[in-house]
Amino acid sequence: MAQPRLRIAETPQPDRLEILRQLERKLLWLASWMIHEANHIRPSRDGLKVGGHQASSASVVTLMTALYFDVLKPEDRIAVKPHAGPVFHAIQYLLGHLDPKLLPTLRTYHGLQSYPSRTKDVDDVDFSTGSVGLGVAVSLFAALVQEYVQLKKLAPADARPGRMVALVGDAELDEGNVFEAMFEGWKKDVRNLWWIIDYNRQSLDAVISDRLFGRIDQLFDAMGWRVVTLKYGKLLGRAFARPGGAALRRWIDECPNSLYSALVFKGGAAWREHLVRDLGNAPGIRALLDEHDDEALGRLMTNLAGHDIETVRDALHAVADDKPTCFIAYTIKGFGLPFAGHKDNHAGLMNQAQMAAFKQSMRIPDGKEWDRFAGLDLPEDMLAQFLREVPFGKRFPRQYAPAKIAVPELEAPTRGRMSTQEGFGRILNEIGRGDTEFARRIVTTSPDVSVSTNLGPWVNRRGVYGRTETSDTFASEQVVSAQRWVVSPKGQHIELGIAEHNLFLLLSALGLSGPLFGARLLPIGTLYDPFIRRGLDALHYACYQDSRFMLVATPSGITLAPEGGAHQSCETTLITLAQPGLAAFEPAFVDELAAIMRWGFEYMQVDDGGSVALRLSTRPVDQPQRAFTPAMRDAVIAGGYWIMPPEANSDLVIAYSGAVAPEAFGAHAAILEDAPGAGLLAITSADRLHDGWIAARRARIAGDARATAHVETLLAPLARDAALITVMDAHPATLSWLGSVAGHRIYPLGVDQFGQSGDIPDLYRAYGIDTDAILDACARAALHSFGR
């Protein structure tokens, strides 16, 4: 591995460092006051504690001062640990990017969000954070995406590549997803990535294990990262150089995390007592203790590098190459606040008296709490001038809004028997033939299931992406294979190891490539439907960030029959139904699928759009030979259409979704003799139908009396007491809400138990979704309807 090129930082002008120290102080004040105001000054209407994290914020004030006011460039992208949100907002305020009126709105409705939010905060958040570990990992995938668009020259000519930076709470490293991401990053030789660990050795409940740290730096090292440990500040550095200094250093190095934290909290006298007891006889120690009063001793013993702006600044500036770098910055949780180091300080808030003392020590006059410069020691115009010239602040907002990519009609190969999964592979293969801008913007990814989810033909055409070219060894060795595997920067498929969490984080980053890097991508991720569960928090996270992608989940349900229970899914339809920001579809036929995909690529690009999920099947079914009219297309997108419309006042409908279409068709044909007016309803998206229904209800409440949902129109011809037999290879609750739309009776068929291995006839019978089960439900419905 190439040696890092280290650049020696220019010697800082004393006034520049001094200005940074002043801003650091201001940030500590503003973040603390923002939280105080929210909890102790703003009246509470509900008796709930508002919260906010003064200690977590204090812990990173120095790191964030150095980063934002000195080191970062506008093209850098930063994931700020969730509990440092107030510090971030204070920075944007000082840079003139946040209306001061918003400062007292922390945690209010439409105010500053509790944790930095891309979509809800107004001050240019790059990555949302909140669920710990995710912001960290997404920065790694963003680094990969930035390189993807750079190598393909998709980014605007003037877009300079930046560093992807995560400010990491040390407890975030307990989340396995961080290590999954690191491993993938190592495989892909990720570049331009900084993780700055706020190593305060405290999490929420407690002080963390002493055994951890030697391990963490080794882990990073093993993954090819540079590790820069920032442990002691300049004051301690000088003390270590004195007689007795080596003993003092050893003492601190060996001090258990819990004891160190407790002494931080207790202060100078407690440090003295322990040092006298443990080191009193060591030469030089007495003299050192005598020279420091309690306050000065406390300051000395807590002089960790993560609070030493000069050390932090020098270390960050010293990294000038693109090697991924982990900074382990020793800090103190609550540094500078009365509960510094206390193990219970995570949710701790200064009380009124503590705040009054803190305010006095910060020299903030009453009424000047939000002032940008009150209490600082340098002239206002000097500070203002400095802030105007901060490199990071030169561009605002830093997000791009690239033009949309035109989406052509998609060919639907609909002859004979075909599964929706095969149809997906063919549609993509057709797209892959063309040399259109649309085709160039598609990027596929999959966690080791590309071939088994039918991405194979696309990958054959467009190649696998990698920074460096690798030939297909099997091909060069003349081993016959249907699947080419040529890796190059031109490739448009990003292959991941089996870690579904990584899939969703990569999709999250790919789907933000437009706003983050100015290069719009149309990402498609495939996985087996049941393994959505494995990546669920990351899927939610991607949607929360309003990232735009197409998720293709296949195979699905018990219809993957022989694969058995461990691979079957019944609840994923409920997950995608309930997930905001994701429009979920389950087509039965390939012409429907082509219409949905075309619409989906548009929907991924419009402002009020979102991401798209397709639940597909491996079951081959006869494709209908039909004219696919625009009206049919609109109905498919809205969520459903009549295969056989009911007669007026019909009292029976079979409503199906997805792979059970043949059973629904069969049962419908069989009941027509007894119930000639019975309807057969194809549901292509329970999610969109449901959304439309809720939206129409809201519109009516808001005064639009004529608002009508698609599902209401569909069900309008039915008799008041009609029965709907709903059937799908998924949890029956996915469709059973249909009974509430117009007060119809529901006979919900579906899967609500763990599956078994078997073939489709056995399994559909066992779980009650075969033709007989549908007919049986029809019979029971008829008895209820006519028998009384």
Ligand X SMILES: Cc1ncc(C[n+]2csc(CCOP(=O)(O)OP(=O)(O)O)c2C)c(N)n1
Q: How far is the CB of 338 from ligand X (least distance, A)?
A: 17
Q: Which is nearer to Mg ion, 264 or 524 (CB)?
A: 264
**Which residue lies nearer to ligand X by CB, 116 or 640?**
116
Between 171 and 300, CB nearer to ligand X: 171
Q: To the nearest 10°, the Cα dihedral for 704, 710, 713, 715?
A: -130
Q: Does residue 170 bind Mg ion (CB under 5 A)?
A: yes
Q: Mark the segment that binds ligand X (CB under 6 A) among 29-37, 98-106, 168-176, 307-315.
A: 168-176
The nearest distance, CB 78 to ligand X, in angstroms, is 16
When the beta carbons of 130 and 237 are compared against ligand X, the nearer one is 130
For residue 204, state whether it binds ligand X (rule: CB under 6 A).
yes
Give 201's Cβ-side CA count (13 Å radius): 26
Task: Residue count of the chain, please give it.
Answer: 788
In the window 342-381, what residues touch ligand X (CB under 6 A)?
346
172/651 with CB nearer ligand X: 172
200 binds Mg ion (CB under 5 A): yes
Q: What is the 3-state secondary structure (H, E, C) of 81-111?
A: CHHHHHHHHHHHHHCCCCCHHHHHHCCCCCC
Work out whether 172 is an interface residue with ligand X (CB under 6 A).
yes
- The DSSP string of 302-349 is T-BGGG-HHHHHHHHHHB-S-S-EEEEEE--TTTTSTTTT-TT-TT--
CA angle 573, 587, 622 (to 5 degrees): 135
Q: Give yes or no for a contact between 161 and 146, defined as CB atoms under 8 angstroms apart.
A: yes
Residue 202 touches Mg ion, criterion: CB under 5 A: yes
Give the nearest residue (CB) to ligand X.
Answer: 169
Q: Is 359 helix (H, G, I), strand (E, B) or coil?
A: helix
Q: Which of Mg ion, ligand X, none does 204 bind, CB closer than 5 to 8 A by kind?
A: ligand X
Partner whose footprint covers residue 684, from ligand X, Mg ion, none (CB < 5 to 8 Å by kind): none
Rule CB under 6 A: say whether 171 interacts with ligand X.
yes
Q: Among residue numbers 63 through 82, which ones bind ligand X (CB under 6 A)?
A: 81-82
Q: State which H helix or E strand residue 26 sits in.
A: helix 14-36
Spatial distance between the Cα atoms of 409 and 647, rounded to a whole number of angstroms: 34
Binding residue (CB under 6 A) for ligand X from 34, 87, 90, 132 = 132
Residues 582, 576: contact at Cβ < 8 Å?
A: yes
What the block records as the tokens of 690 is 């449901």
Nearer to Mg ion, 200 or 303 (CB): 200
Given candidates 22, 39, 128, 203, which one binds ligand X under the rule CB under 6 A? 203
CB 398, CB 512: distance < 8 Å: no
- Which range binds ligand X by CB under 6 A, 31-39, 137-145, 165-173, 645-653? 165-173
Residue 202 CB, nearest approach to Mg ion (Å): 5
Verify binding: residue 176, ligand X, rule CB under 6 A.
no
In the complex, least distance from residue 448 CB atom to ligand X, rounded to whole angstroms: 25
Question: Within 10 Å of residue 236's Cβ, how many Cβ atoms?
Answer: 21
398 binds, among Mg ion, ligand X, none (CB under 5 to 8 A by kind): none
Q: Does 432 bind ligand X (CB under 6 A)?
A: no
When CB distances are held under 5 to 8 angstroms depending on the partner's kind, the choice from Mg ion, ligand X, none that residue 172 binds is ligand X
The yes or no reply on residue 331 touching Mg ion (CB under 5 A) is no
Question: In one letter, which amino acid is 379?
Answer: P
Number of residues that bind Mg ion (CB under 5 A): 5
Tell me the site size for ligand X, rule CB under 6 A.
18
Q: What is the distance of C-alpha 367 from the center of its chain?
A: 39
Burial readout 392-401 (b: 16 or more C-beta within 10 A, e: otherwise)? bbeeeebebe
Select the binding partner of residue 556 from Mg ion, ligand X, none (C-beta < 5 to 8 A, by kind): none
Q: Is 258 in the site for ligand X (CB under 6 A)?
A: no
Peptide bond into 161 cis (omega under 30): no
Q: Tell me the CA distances in angstroms from 435 to 432, 440, 510, one per residue in order.
A: 8, 7, 21
- Contact footprint for ligand X (CB under 6 A): 56, 59, 81-83, 131-132, 169-172, 198, 200, 202-204, 333, 346
- Contact footprint for Mg ion (CB under 5 A): 169-171, 200, 202
